[in-house]
A and B are shown apart, each in its own frame.
Chain A
Amino acid sequence: MCDTCGCPTPDDHFEHKKLVVDINQSLLKANNEQAQKNKIHIESLGAVGINMISSPGSGKTTLLEQTIEKLSPRFKIGVIEGDIETERDAERIRAKGVPVVQITTGGACHLDARLVHKGIHQLVDQGHEHFDIIFIENVGNLVCPATFDLGEHQRIVLLSVPEGSDKPAKYPKPFQSSDGFLITKTDLLPYFDFSIEESKREALLLNPDLFIFELSSTTGKGMEAWLSYLDELQNSGEKTP
């Protein structure tokens, strides 16, 4: 039997035309290209885009509720909510009186640029031509969202006190790829064995450029630093007016 093609006798072997083609194309390219378009779209609305990543239950929605209360109506805020199921988060944000779009991924563990593209259009379709800040609340997951650029200007990772201060070391990717790190639920520090110092040290080893805030959305402690960061970001001129 011919070793090359498996045809029954060597005599039957015919010249196989082998074709080798260099492709050199990224399989993540489609997402990255869409992300670039999203960024331009967000800027054309006058906004900065902020992608918020954390485990489920770290307090992303509660922080957004408190942030909206403090910054709206001075800033025109829009929110894109990512969840696997339900409209619940969008309803909470809607109750604060700002435009919101709920994206349910139906099982997918992260938002991708294509979903956010739809989300931005749905926000605009609610009759808004201008935003100052568009928050994208990613699906609760400390792993997968970190791989997908959504076209955001800033990526923020949240870690709540009950989760434990070892998480930056155990789940490095979101800490490596983020601009900011928020330690949330600091009002619970007396009840948990959480070392602020350890989590900061390990996060900075992964990414020395991270800015870090400690805050509690419940008591409001530490919120000022977060709010002035948003203020500065919005005024920094990173986006086109």
Chain B
Amino acid sequence: MHELSLAQGLLEQLKSICSEHGATKITKVSLSIGKQSGIVIDSFEFGFEILSKDEAITENAVLEILTVDPTSRCMDCKATFAGFEYTSCKHCNSTNLRSYGGDDLVLTQVEME
């Protein structure tokens, strides 16, 4: 997809966060990535690894990724369960399922020095 450009956007944002807080380098970056976001985590990590080495501020930054499951909800028996890989409800077998969430890429926390 566009993992490289997303990683580039993240690094730009990290640089401004760093200068906002008067820090000189970033040590850890925490992200949450939804399983339904369409973002390939391996590709994102690869992009981040390459681009972060270009700047002294980010060259030692460690990337920590938490993956987030969407929630499925059965519209018939109203049961909810984590994940979206289901084709029928675990409880009543209905195929009338909707999935919610797990479609975002969120920068949760930054550790700096």
| A binding-site residues for B, Cβ under 8 Å | 16-28, 30, 108-110, 143-144, 146-147, 173, 176, 204-205, 208-209
Q: Is B17 in contact with A21, judged by CB distance below 8 angstroms?
A: yes
Interface string of B79-113 (1 = CB under 8 A from A): 00000000100000001111100001111111111
Contact A144 B1 (CB under 8 A): yes
Total chain B interface residues with beta-carbon distance under 8 A: 30
Measured CB to CB, the residues of B under 8 A from A are: 1-2, 6, 9-10, 13, 17, 21, 23, 27, 36-38, 75, 87, 95-99, 104-113
Q: Would you mind naming 22 contact pairs between A and B with Cβ atoms under 8 Å apart?
A: A16-B113, A18-B111, A19-B21, A19-B112, A19-B113, A20-B109, A20-B110, A21-B17, A23-B108, A23-B110, A24-B106, A25-B107, A27-B9, A27-B106, A30-B9, A108-B2, A110-B2, A143-B1, A147-B1, A147-B38, A204-B95, A209-B98
Give A20 Cβ to nearest chain B Cβ, in Å: 5
Q: Say whether chain B's binding surface is mostly helix, strand, loop, or mixed.
A: mixed
Q: Contact at A208–B112, with CB atoms within 8 Å?
A: no
Among B17, B95, B105, contact of A23 (Cβ-Cβ < 8 Å): B17
Q: A144-B2, A147-B38 are in contact. Are A24 and B107 (CB under 8 A)?
A: yes
Given A27-B6, A205-B87, 18 other A-B contacts at CB below 8 A? Answer: A16-B113, A18-B111, A21-B17, A21-B111, A22-B108, A23-B109, A23-B110, A27-B105, A27-B106, A27-B107, A108-B2, A109-B2, A144-B38, A147-B37, A204-B95, A208-B75, A208-B95, A208-B98
Given the contacts A16-B113, A24-B108, A176 and B99 also touching, CB distance less than 8 Å: yes
Contact A22 B97 (CB under 8 A): no
Given A27-B10, A143-B38, A146-B38: A205 touches B95 (CB 8 Å cut-off): yes
